[in-house]
Chains A and B, each alone.
Chain A
Amino acid sequence: EPEVTQTPSHQVTQMGQEVILRCVPISNHLYFYWYRQILGQKVEFLVSFYNNEISEKSEIFDDQFSVERPDGSNFTLKIRSTKLEDSAMYFCASTHPGSQETQYFGPGTRLLVL
């Protein structure tokens, strides 16, 4: 069964450093999403991406964040200058148009900012 994959599974970085989180969505999916979950809190929407542009973004997704689909398979989330409060699990999801919004999630990247 096709799956969404994410790399790395864990990342530790110093405050102020740039990080890139990578996702490989399911191959025939066209909508892509990033969510995050701070430890002990709810899963929060960050951004959705369709047709090579952002469809919607949350208040969390400020100028420090960017997304890109650099090739036909990868979908990346970049945090330009990490802050302590960016420590969280980051989940990528994808869906196929016409699938009635069934988003399939990856296993997540645990980001720790020191």
Chain B
Amino acid sequence: DAKTTQPTSMDCAEGRAANLPCNHSTISGNEYVYWYRQIHSQGPQYIIHGLKNNETNEMASLIITEDRKSSTLILPHATLRDTAVYYCIVIDNQGGKLIFGQGTELSVKP
């Protein structure tokens, strides 16, 4: 089973920031938080990952709480093309499998 819980769905207005929460209260010290997204049955697309510090790249920002029990993925200016299912996954650094939950279905609306 996935070690994370996410809301089933969220809406966001185009141009606004989309903030997607994830709870991972049982995360262990060597596990990273990864975010992927899947646009309509395409292959999952890597977005960002972090261990304990906040991270930012050209796609998104990742805010991890100090206790590491939850995180938020931020898409700063959502576009219609960001409509997708977003998956939060925790995994250690041992070459292991990704365990996908149901994810959050984000709908960006004009």
Which of B6-14, B42-50, B64-72 lies at the interface? B42-50
Give the tally of cross-chain contacts (CB within 8 A).
64
B43 touches A108 (CB 8 A): yes
Interface size on B, residues (CB 8 A): 23
With A55-B95, A100-B93, A102-B49 in contact, do A43 and B42 touch (Cβ < 8 Å)? no
Chain A: minimal CB distance from B95 (Å): 5
Is A33 within 8 A of B93, CB to CB?
no
Interface residues on A, range: 20 to 34
**Given A42-B102, A91-B43, A108-B41, 10 extra CB contacts under 8 A:** A37-B41, A43-B87, A48-B97, A89-B41, A91-B44, A93-B43, A101-B49, A101-B92, A101-B94, A107-B42
CB within 8 Å of B: which residues of A?
A: 4, 31, 33, 35, 37, 42-45, 48, 50, 55-56, 58, 89, 91, 93, 95, 97, 100-108, 110
